[in-house]
A and B are shown apart, each in its own frame.
Chain A
Amino acid sequence: MSEQPKKPARKKVELDPRFASYRHVWVFIENERGQVHSVSWELLGEGRKLADRLGVELCGVVMAAPGERGREICREAFHYGADKCYLVQADVLRDYRNEPYTKALTDLVNAYQPEILMLGASTLGRDLAGSVATTLATGLTADCTELAIEEGGRNLAATRPTFGGSLLCTIMTQRHRPQMATVRPRVMSMPEPDPVRSGEIVEVPFSMFESDIVTKVLDFIADDTRDKPNLPFADIIVAGGRGLKKPENFQLVWDLAKVLGAEVGASRPVVQAGWVDLDRQVGQSGKTVRPKLYIAAGISGAIQHRVGMDGADVIIAINSDPNAPIFDFAHFGIVGNAMTILPALTEAFRAQLAQSRKAG
């Protein structure tokens, strides 16, 4: 992906004939220590649409150490929409390391020649995608928010925020294959698994040995997740922004969140100002969320924030500026001072909940 948007291409660039036979859509299934990252299933949902549009197969790529439930993961991938899975099992794939994973994925691409290869924009996916794209000398578009096939052609039109999230741009890889893209977790919706669906597992041998690999894993310290907020999977989020004026006023966001049993989120400016922890930041440079309800207080709704919460089912916005962009995509809005509206909202929810509990 270019770091500065260039002038739109004027003439259509033809595909290099070396890649004419590249077909099918691939999703790298991110398996770390036997756990599949949910972004992989989200990508299969999106990949299904692209494959159907192109009239090709959707394939998963699963890498695992022997005994790490590789075949089981493949079967799960079929439930989420894959037609076929390439399964690479080797001892050197036990922990994620750049070198063996890059080699395994690059070898697979060269052998089976997909036209599109998608990975999750996780720490693993971004590490791997950059190395694989460089090795293959092909185009890679990071953090896409929308994927489509161009009108009248087979090119992938990958849309992502640019300029720090001020605008969106659509990027294409016209001459090279595969067209690579990463997508952040929760940007695409989770497909409904179909337990009856099945597919073909293609086991591919991989001859790399521990002695071939320079980097060694000495230890893995699992995160203590007990007190960590989990915004991407929260059902209700109350978020605050610069419109709250002072860090003390952010307490009003916490108060409402407590009544609703919600997680607390924040926009980038207030995180940068140190009012709230980084792991609560919602947006392009923070978390992407898909709650059932998102309440935004004092958040203007710049693109960089919008791309992180656009997928919420219901968005309620409170902002004193009637022209704030957030009112363009929120479902409900109150034009007013968040410092007085938030406490009123907290009270209203409290009263409403007491009533419905009595009734229920």
Chain B
Amino acid sequence: MHSVVCIKQVPDSAQIRVHPVTNTIMRQGVPAIINPYDLFALEEALRLKDRLGGTVTVVTMGPPMAEAALRKCLSYGADDAILVSDRAFAGSDTLATSYALAATIRQIMARQPVDLIFTGKQTIDGDTAQVGPGIAKRLDYQLLTYVSRIVEVDLARKEIVVERRAEGGVQLLKTATPCLITLLEGINEMRFGDLEDLFRAARYDLQVWNREAAGIDEVEMIGLKGSPTVVSKVFAPRPRAQRAQIIETQDSEPRNLAATLLAKVFTQHPKLEKEIAKRAI
């Protein structure tokens, strides 16, 4: 059993601040973390390994500093890690990224067959949820998104049964392996790696693959050239024409503030008062 888990190193978006005057991102001091959604994918792959044996390979495409994210994955128990890094990838959108990762996975498969490919449901910086489906399509594998439970893996028959979160319910699906699975959040909890894995992660001879090593000949498929989408503008949202009417009273007593607020709201929005009266018990 060999699983490949695709992860991404992302800035911890909870700690991103926007400069109030220039409206630019203040990157300084924002820690880089493993995309939280990817941890559910990694843990699920590790659990399958616990059950069925085999190995887990973690892959990421990113700048050299993404090595730290891969070493973290090794410390959780992943067996191998590959960093795909090349200036030629700069500016890749999701279409170009899925091309590069699919090529990388083909190279991995040439060395050791792959049974399952895992990704998180989306990243917290891009939030697109497009790279996983893109990789599956490029490899011509079946795609199972928003998987909430892996029910059964039959390695001999090359079959897998999963539960998938759909609109309004859960689908029970059976498909053939190899396939690509994106995991729903909250379905498991990342383990604490043991000391042995921690040491191994620190000493591990991490492979860095450039474009050629990833098996990509066509440079026009990656980077800016391979990206149909172009960012034409980055900006902070406009405030409304008018700021909020700030309710003030002479004494600033909560009771009086509340009463003044209600009077103002209901005078300006008489329908709202009726609406509330109708609904409230």
**In contact, B137 and A260 (Cβ under 8 angstroms):** no
B contacts with A, residue count (CB < 8 A): 89
A contacts with B, residue count (CB < 8 A): 113
Cβ of B280: which chain A residues have Cβ within 8 Å of it?
A: 259-261, 349, 353
Q: Provided the pairs A167-B25, A344-B255 are in contact, do residues A137 and B234 lie with their beta carbons within 8 angstroms?
A: no
Q: Provided the pairs A9-B231, A214-B175, A352-B262 are in contact, do residues A166 and B142 lie with their beta carbons within 8 angstroms?
A: no
Produce 1/0 per residue, B229-258, CB < 8 A to A.
Answer: 111111111011001111100001011011
Q: Which of A51-59, A75-83, A188-196, A333-341 contacts B (4 or more CB under 8 A)?
A: A333-341
- Indicate the member of B14, B98, B254, B257 with the most A CB atoms within 10 Å: B254
**In contact, B262 and A348 (Cβ under 8 angstroms):** yes
CA distance A170 to B235 in the complex (A): 8
Q: Which of B125-133, B191-199, B206-214 contacts A (4 or more CB under 8 A)?
A: B125-133
CA distance A130 to B243 in the complex (A): 39
Produce 1/0 per residue, A70-112, CB < 8 A to B.
Answer: 0000000000000000000000000111110010000000000
Interface of B is mostly: mixed
**In contact, A173 and B230 (Cβ under 8 angstroms):** yes
CA distance A315 to B244 in the complex (A): 9
Q: Is B275 close to A, CB under 8 A?
A: yes
Interface of A is mostly: mixed
**In contact, B236 and A131 (Cβ under 8 angstroms):** no
Q: Is A343 close to B, CB under 8 A?
A: yes
Q: Is A126 close to B, CB under 8 A?
A: yes
Q: Which of A124-138 contact B (CB under 8 A)?
A: 124, 126-127, 129-131, 133-135, 137-138
CA distance A163 to B123 in the complex (A): 10
Q: Is B215 close to A, CB under 8 A?
A: no
CA distance A331 to B254 in the complex (A): 19
B280 to A, closest residue via Cβ: A261
Produce 1/0 per residue, B170-194, CB < 8 A to A.
Answer: 1111111000000000100000000
Cβ of A315: which chain B residues have Cβ within 8 Å of it?
A: 244
Q: Is B3 close to A, CB under 8 A?
A: no
Cβ of A25: which chain B residues have Cβ within 8 Å of it?
A: none
Cβ of A5: which chain B residues have Cβ within 8 Å of it?
A: 231, 234
Q: Which of the residues B16, B17, B232, B257 comes within 8 Å of A9, measured between beta carbons?
A: B232
**In contact, A167 and B127 (Cβ under 8 angstroms):** no
